[in-house]
Structure 1
Amino acid sequence: MANSTLWWLLAGVAVVLELLSGTVYLLLVGIGLAAAAIAAHLGLALTTQIVVAALVGVGAVALWYVTHRRGASGVPSQADPNLNLDVGEQVSVEEWNADGTAVVRHRGAQWTAVVRPGAVPVPGLHRVVEIVGNRLVLERI
C-alpha cells in the first residue's frame, strides 16, 4: 500500500473522530495528515512527509488557538449580546416591588427583573444588561 493511501486513511479517521467528538482540533490534525498525503503524492521521503504532517497539523492548531483566543470578548456569557439576544433590549418598568424586583413584559411574556447592583430601582425605561438565571438585570436609560 502506498504511503499516500495510508495518509489519506489516517486523515479520514481523524475527520470521523472529529465528527464523533465535536471538537475542531482533530479536523486541524486531519488537515496536517492530508498535507502529508499530498507530500507523498509529490514523491517526498517518508521523513519529510512526517515533518509536513507535524508542521501543518500543529501550525493549524496553533493558528486556530491564537485567532479564537484573541477573538474572545472577555464579557461574561450572561451579559454577551452575541449569546443572549435579550441583552441590549429595552423594557418599561411600571413599578418596583419592595424586594427590589419588578414584573416586566418582554417578548410576549412576563419576566422578573432586578436592577444592576448599586442602582436605585425607579420606574421608567430600562435596558437589559444581563440575564441571571431567569431574571433580567436592568439599568436605567
Structure 2
Amino acid sequence: MSVWMMWVAVTGLVVMLELFTGTFYLLMVALGMMAGALVAFFGISLEWQMIVAALVGAFATLALHKSKYGWREAKNASRDPNVNMDIGQSIHVQQWQDHGNGIYTSRAMYRGAMWDLELRHSAAVPGNFVIEAVEGSRLIVRPL
C-alpha cells in the first residue's frame, strides 16, 4: 500500500471517530490529513506531508473555531428564555417594599404559587411586570 493510501485510510478512521463526537473539529483534522495525502500522492517527502497536514488541519480548526459553528460563550441560563419558560411572561404586582439602593421586593402569585420578586433600578409602582431572569426562587422583573 502506498503512503498516500495510508493517509486516506487514516483520514477515513478520523471521519468515523468524528461521527461519535458530534463536533466538526475532527473533520478539520481530516481535511489536514487529506492535504497530507495529496502531498504524498505527488511523491513529496514525509516531512513535508506532515507539515502540510498539520498546517492545513490547524488553519481549518482555527477557521471553524472563529466561525459561528465554533465554540460559543456560555449563556446565563437564568436569563435565557430557551432554558427557562418563565422569562418573558408577565406578572401582576400589587405592592413593593423598598430596600434602598434602588432595590424593591415583593411577593406575588405566579403559576399557582407565591414567588419572591425583585425589581432593580426602576420606579416601584404596582402593576404588570415582565420576568427577565430567575435567580433561585426569586423572579427578577422589569416594568411592562
Q: 2:64 & 2:30 partners in 1: Cα distance?
A: 14
Does 1:125 pair with 2:131? no
Match of 2:16 in 1: 16
CA contact 1:86–1:128 (8 Å) conserved in 2: no
Q: 2:137 & 2:21 partners in 1: Cα distance?
A: 31
Q: Please, which moves more after superposition, 53-62 or 26-35?
A: 26-35
Q: 1:58 to 1:91 in 2, by over 3 A?
A: same
CA contact 2:119–2:142 (8 Å) conserved in 1: yes
Deviations 1:4-29 (A, max 9, x none): 22112222222232333344322221
Aligned residues: 136
Match of 2:101 in 1: none
Q: 1:132 to 1:22 in 2, by over 3 A?
A: farther
Deviations 1:42-79 (A, max 9, x none): x1413332222111111112222334599856752322
- TM-align CA RMSD: 3.7
Q: 1:66 & 1:31 partners in 2: Cα distance?
A: 17
CA contact 1:7–1:37 (8 Å) conserved in 2: yes
Q: 1:127 to 1:38 in 2, by over 3 A?
A: farther
Give the TM-score of the pair, scaled to structure 1: 0.66
Runs of 4+ in 1 over 6 A off after TM superposition: 96-99
The gaps in structure 1 that reach 5 residues or longer are: none
Q: 1:57 to 1:71 in 2, by over 3 A?
A: closer
Match of 1:104 in 2: 110
Match of 1:36 in 2: 36
Q: 1:72 to 1:32 in 2, by over 3 A?
A: same
